[in-house]
Amino acid sequence: MGAVHSVHSASLSRASTIVSENPATGEAIGEVPDQPAEEVRAAIARAREAQRAWAAVPLAERCQRIERFAEVLMARADEVIELVVREAGKTPIEALATEVVVVADLTRYFCKHAPAVLAPEPIPLHLLKHRASYLHYVPRGVIGIIAPWNFPFSIPIGEVVMSLIAGNGVVLKPSEITPLIALKARELYLAAELPPDLFQVVTGRGAAGVALIDGGIDYCVFTGSVATGRKVAAACGERLIPCTLELGGKAPAVVCADADLDRAAQAIVWGGFANSGQVCASVERVYAVASIHDQLVDKIVAHARALRQGDAAVSEVDVGAMTWDRQVDNVERLVDAAVAHGAQVALGGKRSPGPGLFFQPTVLTSCRQDMDVMRKEIFGPVIPIMSVADEEEAIRHANDSHLGLLAYVFTRDRARGKALAERIAAGTVMINDVLHTYGCPETPWSGVKSSGIGRTHSAHGLRDLCETRHVNYDRIAIPREVWWYPYRNTTFQTALRVARLLFGKRFWKR
Ligand code: NDP
CATH of the domain at 79: 3.40.605.10
Q: Kindly state the average pLDDT of the residues 45-64.
A: 98
> Does residue 475 fall inside a structural domain?
no
Which candidate, 430, 436, 401, places its Cα nearest to that of 418?
A: 430
> Does residue 477 fall inside a structural domain?
no
**pLDDT surpasses 80 at 14:** no
**pLDDT surpasses 70 at 24:** yes
Q: Which of 280, 284, 367, 466 is catalytic?
A: 280
The Cβ of residue 246 has, within 10 Å, a number of other Cβ atoms equal to: 26
Which CATH number covers residue 261? 3.40.309.10
For the question of residue 391 being annotated catalytic, the response is no
Ligand 1 atom closest to the Cα of residue 228 is 2
Confidence class for position 13, pLDDT limits 50, 70, 90? very low
**pLDDT surpasses 90 at 220:** yes
Q: Give the chain's mean pLDDT.
A: 96
Residue span of the structural domain in which 192 resides: 9-247+456-468
Alpha carbon 162 to its chain centroid, in Å, reads: 13
Judgement on whether residues 183 and 256 belong to the same structural domain of the protein = no
pLDDT tens per residue across span 26-41: 999 999 999 999 999 9
Judgement on whether residues 241 and 258 belong to the same structural domain of the protein = no
Which residue owns the Cα nearest ligand 1 atom 20?
209
Ligand 1 atom closest to the Cα of residue 212 is 20
Judgement on whether residues 238 and 317 belong to the same structural domain of the protein = no
> Does residue 501 fall inside a structural domain?
no
Judgement on whether residues 132 and 212 belong to the same structural domain of the protein = yes
Residue 384, preceding bond cis, omega within 30 degrees? no
Judgement on whether residues 73 and 141 belong to the same structural domain of the protein = yes
Judgement on whether residues 226 and 327 belong to the same structural domain of the protein = no
> Does residue 34 fall inside a structural domain?
yes
Q: Which of 31, 94, 159, 246 is catalytic?
A: 246
The Cβ of residue 115 has, within 10 Å, a number of other Cβ atoms equal to: 15
Judgement on whether residues 327 and 427 belong to the same structural domain of the protein = yes
**pLDDT surpasses 60 at 353:** yes
> Does residue 448 fall inside a structural domain?
no
224 secondary structure, DSSP code: S
Number of domains making up the chain: 2
> Does residue 288 fall inside a structural domain?
yes
Euclidean distance between CA atoms 370 and 341, whole angstroms: 10
Q: Which of 19, 98, 228 to mutate to test the pocket of ligand 1 (most atoms within 8 A of CB)?
A: 228
Which candidate, 196, 202, 235, 96, places its Cα nearest to that of 153?
A: 96
Judgement on whether residues 240 and 263 belong to the same structural domain of the protein = no
352 secondary structure, DSSP code: P
* Ligand 1 neighbour 461 (Cβ under 6 A): no
pLDDT tens per residue across span 296-337: 999 999 999 999 999 999 999 999 999 999 999 999 999 999
Q: Kindly state the average pLDDT of the residues 54-75.
A: 98
Distance (angstroms) between ligand 1 centre and the Cα of 470 equals 34
Phi/psi of residue 13, each to 5°? -95, -45
Judgement on whether residues 88 and 147 belong to the same structural domain of the protein = yes
Judgement on whether residues 148 and 286 belong to the same structural domain of the protein = no
